[in-house]
Amino acid sequence: MKIDKILATWVHVPIPYERQHVSDFGRVASFDSVIVKVEADTGLVGWGEAKAGVGSASSAHGLAAIINRDYAPLLVGQDRRDVSRLWDVMYNTPREGYALDRGHVLPQLGRRGLSISAIAGVDLALWDLLGKSLGAPVWRLLGGRRAERMPAYASGGWADEAHIGEQLQSYVVLAGRQSASARAGRREVSGGRRVRGDSRPPRARDHGRRVVRAPLRARVARRRGPP
């Protein structure tokens, strides 16, 4: 029932130039993630993941070090089933005892950014470990499902004015998405499917609508063909 070992590993995967994604955050030249492995004394293993930057491209050495050097020593030997309490241990240490006694958080310095991402990676692994030990999916442990099926959408719309229609249309053609979240308002693509705008500042959203409304309608109309 105890945690025997915790190991965080930075995985760096270069992306070929022709497949690199470009957005307002810049060009994403690699996929970077920290894979968290939590091993119980029974040999059972739980897996989690943490990221250090938007777009999945970043130096994640520091993130892995936080888990391996700060959190792992705190959790080894603890009961792996106490997922919520172990979250408090990571968040509040070294004042975890005071936090539990007083009923409110007393976080250690710097409990934002990479520290929270590191906690999340370990937390995911602990839930995975608990689910495996009980023979149940994590969604069941968290209260069960609300519906048999849920709609999916693709997020994008980073192309320029000349190519945004083609990019959004590709989500429908290639993936069969019912809707897509883009930078510029709500648009209709083939089959009457929608393109939804995301939460940008109102001024930016209005500007985006003016920029792409006419070109996007024209491109979608050409793709849909005559009525």
Overall number of domains in the chain: 2
- Residues 60 and 129 both lie in one domain: yes
Within-domain flag for 32: yes
- Residues 107 and 178 both lie in one domain: no
- Residues 116 and 181 both lie in one domain: no
How many angstroms separate the CA atoms of 183 and 215, rounded?
Answer: 15
Within-domain flag for 83: yes
Within-domain flag for 203: yes
- Residues 129 and 168 both lie in one domain: no
Question: CA nearest 134: which of 20, 221, 42?
Answer: 42
Within-domain flag for 35: yes
Q: Give the residue numbers spanning the domain of 67.
A: 3-141
Give the tokens for residue 227.
């009525």
Burial class of residue 30 (count of CB atoms within 10 Å of its CB; 0-12, 13-18, 19+): middle
Greatest extent of the chain over all pairs of C-alpha atoms, in Å: 70
Within-domain flag for 147: no
Q: What is the CATH number of the domain that holds 20?
A: 3.30.390.10
Q: Which of 83, 113, 141 is the last residue of a domain?
A: 141
Report which residue type is found at 194.
R
How many angstroms separate the CA atoms of 66 and 49, rounded?
Answer: 13
Long-range contacts of 11-20 (CB under 8 A, 24+ apart): 11/35, 12/60
Q: Which of 141, 170, 200 is the last residue of a domain?
A: 141
Residue 191 CB contacts under 8 Å (≥ 6 apart), including other chains: 172
How many angstroms separate the CA atoms of 130 and 83, rounded?
Answer: 8
Mean pLDDT by 10 residues, the chain (227 residues): 96 91 81 96 96 83 95 95 92 70 65 89 97 94 88 70 76 60 49 46 44 47 53
Q: Which of 77, 110, 141 is the last residue of a domain?
A: 141
Within-domain flag for 99: yes
- Residues 70 and 173 both lie in one domain: no
- Residues 24 and 83 both lie in one domain: yes
Order of strands across the sheet that contains 187-189: 153-155, 179-182, 193-197, 187-189
- Residues 47 and 79 both lie in one domain: yes
60-95 burial: b if 16+ Cβ within 10 Å, else e: beebbebbbeebbebbeeeebbbbeebebbbbbbee
Within-domain flag for 146: no
- Residues 125 and 194 both lie in one domain: no
pLDDT of residue 126: 97
User: How many C-beta neighbours within 10 Å does residue 45 have?
Assistant: 15
- Residues 34 and 8 both lie in one domain: yes
Give the tokens for residue 140.
């069941």
pLDDT of residue 208: 44
Pairing of strands 153-155, 45-50: unpaired
- Residues 121 and 196 both lie in one domain: no
Report which residue type is found at 141.
L
- Residues 165 and 207 both lie in one domain: yes
- Residues 36 and 84 both lie in one domain: yes
pLDDT of residue 56: 78
Question: CA nearest 182: which of 222, 216, 148?
Answer: 216
Within-domain flag for 148: no
